[in-house]
Amino acid sequence: MKRYNIKVNQPLPSDKEIESAKNFNALLKDVEELHHPQKMATKRHKNQRLVRILVVIIAVGLALMASFGLFDKKEETKKPTQTVNPK
């Protein structure tokens, strides 16, 4: 427990100290910057554009692979085996 400095039963701050720490304009400014709808929308739209571009690239790649026949399974030519019928 030596790593932690836990202060128990601290004295309560006075009313003057509480009033001096109240700054609602700065708090409102911070909240508006964090939760600005236009900034959040641009981030979301950038991510959606990136996903759409990746989907199109993958679709074009798969179409090219299919057109060149890269998905066709090549069967190995096997020698015909002789079956022996016991009499």
pLDDT in tens, the chain (87 residues): 578 888 888 899 899 999 988 999 999 998 888 887 777 677 667 778 888 999 999 999 999 888 887 766 666 656 666 777 766
Structure tokens, 74? 């090549």
Contact residues for 71 (Cβ-Cβ < 8 A; gap 6+): 65
Reported pTM:
0.38
For residue 42, the model assigns a pLDDT of: 72
Structure tokens, 77? 């030519």
What's the structural domain count of the chain? Answer: 1
Whether 18 maps to a domain, the answer reads: no
Whether 52 maps to a domain, the answer reads: yes
Structural domain range at position 54 = 37-71
For residue 59, the model assigns a pLDDT of: 96
Whether 30 maps to a domain, the answer reads: no
For residue 69, the model assigns a pLDDT of: 78
